[in-house]
Amino acid sequence: MIARLPFVVKLVAICLLVITATNFVLDLMTDRAIDRAFLQFIKDYALTGISGATTSIAEYYKDNGESWDGVQQVFEPMAAALELQSKQRDPHNPAKFFILLVDKDGIVVGSTNHDALNLPLAKGPNVREIPIELDKFGKKEIVGSFLIGTPDELPKEGELGDVAQKFADTENQAVWLSAALAALLAILLSLALTRQLNRPLKQLTLAARRFADGNLKERVLLKSHDEIGQLGRAFNEMAQSLEKSEEARRQMIADIAHELRTPLSTIQGNLEALLDGVYTTSPERIESIHAKTLLLRRLVNDLQELSLADAGELSLERHITDLSVLLARLKEQIQPQFDEQKIALSLEAQSGLFVNIDQERIEQVLLNLLSNALRYTENGAVRIKTSMNSNDVLVSVSDTGKGIYSGDMPHLFERFYRGDKSRSRSSGGAGLGLAISRRLVELHGGKIWVESQSGNGTTFTFSIPKHYQK
């Protein structure tokens, strides 16, 4: 049920819940604090009055010949005043303070309670003592003490009298009024906040719905740098990535259709000409048709191989292989093609480069790279070279051809990409060789990259881990 509530309602409810809980705790703590503080105020108020009387009572002692005789007469009006103050404070529960005056020997010589006169002082836990000092020859001498007692007569915490209770009630009303105002302010602020939060969230929701409906160019414009802004940027990056993937898919379908159309049209045209008697059946004509079928088969095989590699379903038959031996054998195999075009082919390979590879797949990578080098090098040279770093064996194929245009470099390993847009299948492949090579190298745990400058030749390099284990 709560999950279905709007975001605004949830945020406002959370704010109100926090404020209510805070004010409940605050009110509870305020009540206790007021009880303790008010009781202490009553005691301190009484003590303040007694402290002010110490000077006058000391003068009485001095003027009376340093004797406390007759001091009880001073306590008669004091007792009446205390009783009156207690009744004014709380008529229904007056506090019965007692004030004592004891001499320096601890005998009660004055008291608001006649029953305590001339008795030794017995201090209780709630009795406060104020010494009475007399200045004699520059020194302070204690000649007696005032004591104020509040044993059990004061109301306990939680049992305040009318005046104290009114004070506490007033404070509680102020607390709850403040809570109500705070709740109102919280509602207003939460509404303003949720409006600010909801605006980008609604924008994201609408953009996501339009994107789901097929509008892959949909983007959101969020200027904030908080988590919502990061979510908006993540959405834009996702949308851009999916749009590129969709464009690549469409382009791939168009490229496949184009690559299949040309040989199929040639085969269809030749067969129709043969059926109509335009061409006579001859070994040369049949050989031409057969070559186009082989071209189609190779294209289909390349597409299948690439799709298996992308899906991670292309199996590798790995064996520990001396890479220098494999390269030497491959050079000998492809040397006649280089000799035919008068292009020098050299090999610089260290011996004993043992790697765990699928020989057939790595040969396929090397043949793709060497075929490209042969195709784009005229009256030059191609070199195969090996090297090592701390973790990998590196194999590079360099040529002295015309190099690669810088604008083509980021796209070389994309499917069906051709730097020369006018290139046909007779002068170049379908644009799958490098894409397949990259996936085969990656399946071996390595990487492949290219370095080239227009007019200064090209170097393709791939790495193979020394001890790669699947």
319-322/139-149 β-pairing: unpaired
What does the pLDDT look like over 362-415, one tens digit per residue?
998 998 899 889 988 888 899 999 998 888 999 999 999 888 887 778 778 877
The model carries a pTM of 0.48
Dihedral pair phi/psi, residue 45, rounded to 5°: -65, -45
CB 423 within 8 A of CB 415: no
Q: Which two tokens stand for residue 139?
A: 């020194």
pLDDT at 426 over 50: no
pLDDT at 158 over 60: no
Residue 402 DSSP class? -
- Mean pLDDT, to the nearest integer, of 249-259? 72
> Which class in CATH covers the domain with range 316-465?
alpha beta
Q: How far apart are the C-alpha atoms of 351 and 325, rounded to whole Å?
A: 8
Residue 144 neighbours by CB under 8 Å, 6+ apart:
57, 61, 68, 101, 102, 103, 104, 109, 131, 132
CB 396 within 8 A of CB 358: no
Mean pLDDT of the chain: 76
Residue 230 neighbours by CB under 8 Å, 6+ apart:
none
- DSSP lists the bridge partners of residue 461 as 396, 449
- Mean pLDDT, to the nearest integer, of 266-271? 83
Please compute Rg for the chain using Cα positions.
51
CATH number of the structural domain 2-175: 3.30.450
Q: How far apart are the C-alpha atoms of 133 and 130, rounded to whole Å?
A: 10
Q: Give Cα 341 to chain centroid, integer Å.
A: 60
Query: Exposed/middle/buried for 153, CB within 10 Å: 0-12, 13-18, 19+?
Result: middle
Query: Exposed/middle/buried for 295, CB within 10 Å: 0-12, 13-18, 19+?
Result: buried
Dihedral pair phi/psi, residue 320, rounded to 5°: -70, 120
Q: Give the CATH architecture of domain 247-309.
A: Orthogonal Bundle (1.10)
pLDDT at 468 over 50: no
What does the pLDDT look like over 276-330, one tens digit per residue?
887 788 888 788 788 778 777 877 777 777 777 766 667 788 889 999 999 999 9
Q: How many CB atoms lie within 10 A of CB 353?
A: 21
Domain ranges of the chain: 2-175, 247-309, 316-465
DSSP codes of every residue in 375-399: HT-SS-EEEEEEEE-SSEEEEEEEE
